[in-house]
Amino acid sequence: MPTNKVILLANTDWYLFNFRLSLAQTLRERGFEVILLSPDGSYGPKLRALGFTWEAIPMERRSLNPWREIGLILWLARVFRRERPLLVHGFTIKGAVYSSLAARLAGVPIRVNGIDGLGYVFTSDELRARLLRPVVSNLMRFAFDGKRSAVVLQNSSDVALFKQSRIAADRAVRLVRGAGVNLTRYRPREPAETKKTAPLRIVLAARLIWEKGIGEYVEASRILKSEGRSVIFLLAGSPDEGNPAAIQRSQIEEWDRDNLLTWLGHVSDMPALLSDVDVVVLPSYYREGLPTTLIEGAACALPLITTDAPGCREVVSRNGDDGILIPARDPKALADAIRMLDDDRALGVKLGLAARAKVLTEFDENIVLGKLLSIYQELGAASPVPAPVPVAGLVATPPEGTAP
């Protein structure tokens, strides 16, 4: 018989710590035994220090070796048979597909599959991505099938795609916008600070891959600096070496040397960074799930500039009201938007306050946790110890940040 165990699986321990720690703690408070699985990393011991069972899994993000991948699925199935969980919740495409396939093999009753974004296979035009797309789509159809299986998507564009492509049954598809934001950690600056006349400071915080629009960000910097503007371009994040679209470290260092941007590297305290900038930018041409960097910026009442792309337009849905939407792959449009906010600081304050109001009603961490717990309950995972969803921010150790 299954136990009251819940397994959360992701492709990095960093993801579990920064984006799913509140979920894990809420489940534990509800009486579930929570087991966390991810590839090895520096955040695993931090999860253990918080009292969770964390185990490293032999997953390689870039591996395309079919025998290695089959071996990983079988390895997971053995772990699931040993632990006998009631529910397995996998995150990201690879984590969701593999954990769901393994859960089917192991007879796990409930499978929840969190797709945070459609990733390289669905967004890239490279030949390898196009060849893999039908294979991955068919794998998802098989993995996500079942009456007690749910697919949790983060934006309405992905919901429409999954339904049109019949990747999952309509009844299985659920929309839950992101992982939520802790509103006790991300809060607006004092009003007096927003009226400064110092150079405009903007930040792009993301995995350092081309699809995030980092090339366009650099080109916008070239345009504005050629005009003599003193806008400060900050870039937060680390090279994503496990991604085929990763930007080389040498390229980022060259941009920094040329004063086109200031590279901050990994940022461990995002609330502190956001308290020291004026605008948050994400010029992505990627099928985002729901960009956390935009939600965190909005929670801090900062104006947002982003592209009219899936995921991004879930956060900025009314151009000129709750942020600025620009076309993808258009550095001139990005430069124009930054110039407008540089010239009209009051507009930035107005957009930031509207963005914050939207976060309060749609992206509060408590709202997201409540929706996920409802999905669990609908599938038959009733809480052993009923309890209210905790107040946002009441985590044993705050996540260190979201810029990788």
pLDDT of residue 388: 56
What's at 307, amino acid-wise?
T
Quick check: is 16 in a domain? yes
Quick check: is 309 in a domain? yes
Quick check: is 73 in a domain? yes
The answer to whether 160 and 118 have CB atoms below 8 angstroms apart is no
145 with 11, same domain? yes
Q: Is 45 helix (H, G, I), strand (E, B) or coil?
A: helix
- Sheet of 110-115, strands arranged across: 53-56, 33-38, 5-9, 87-91, 110-115, 149-153, 173-175
Quick check: is 36 in a domain? yes
pLDDT by residue (tens digit) across 9-53?
999 999 999 999 999 999 999 999 999 999 999 999 999 999 999
The pLDDT of 327-346, averaged and rounded, is 97
Quick check: is 389 in a domain? no
- Token reading at 236: 């937060």
The pLDDT of 90-104, averaged and rounded, is 95
- Token reading at 379: 């599938």
209 with 353, same domain? yes
Distance between CA 10 and CA 287 in Å, rounded?
19
144 with 201, same domain? no
Q: Which residues pair with 150 in a beta bridge?
A: 112
123 with 145, same domain? yes
pLDDT of residue 71: 97
The answer to whether 106 and 86 have CB atoms below 8 angstroms apart is no
Choose from 116-125, 236-245, 293-302, 392-401 the range with maximum mean pLDDT: 293-302
Q: What is the DSSP letter of 390?
A: P
Distance between CA 226 and CA 316 in Å, rounded?
29
Distance between CA 19 and CA 176 in Å, rounded?
14
338 with 373, same domain? no
Give yes or no for residue 394 having a pLDDT over 70.
no
150 with 294, same domain? no
pLDDT by residue (tens digit) across 337-385?
999 999 999 999 999 999 999 999 999 999 999 999 999 999 999 888 7
Domain that holds residue 223: 191-361
pLDDT by residue (tens digit) across 206-258?
999 999 999 999 999 999 999 999 999 999 999 887 777 899 999 999 999 99
| Four-point Cα dihedral 291, 152, 28, 2, nearest 10 | -150
22 with 156, same domain? yes
- CA proximity to 177, closest of 8, 33, 311, 317: 311
The pLDDT of 62-68, averaged and rounded, is 82
Kindly report the backbone phi and psi dihedral angles of residue 6, in degrees, each rounded to the nearest multiple of 5, phi listed first. Answer: -125, 130
222 with 141, same domain? no
93 with 127, same domain? yes
pLDDT of residue 165: 86
pLDDT of residue 389: 47
Quick check: is 39 in a domain? yes
The answer to whether 377 and 26 have CB atoms below 8 angstroms apart is no
| Four-point Cα dihedral 71, 72, 77, 83, nearest 10 | 130
Quick check: is 81 in a domain? yes
What's at 296, amino acid-wise?
E
Give yes or no for residue 303 having a pLDDT over 50.
yes
- Token reading at 115: 């797709």
CATH code, domain carrying 20: 3.40.50.2000
68 with 93, same domain? yes
Quick check: is 399 in a domain? no
Question: In which band, very low, low, confident or very high, does the pLDDT at 75 lie, cut at 50, 70 and 90?
Answer: very high
The domain tally of the chain equals 2
Q: Which residues pair with 324 in a beta bridge?
A: 305
Residues 6+ apart with CB under 8 A from 336: 326
Q: DSSP assignment of 172-240, as one string?
A: GEEE--SS-B-TTTS-PPPGGGGG--SPPEEEEES-BBGGGTHHHHHHHHHHHHHTT--PEEEEE--B-
Total-model pTM: 0.89
Average pLDDT, the chain: 91
169 with 201, same domain? no
115 with 152, same domain? yes
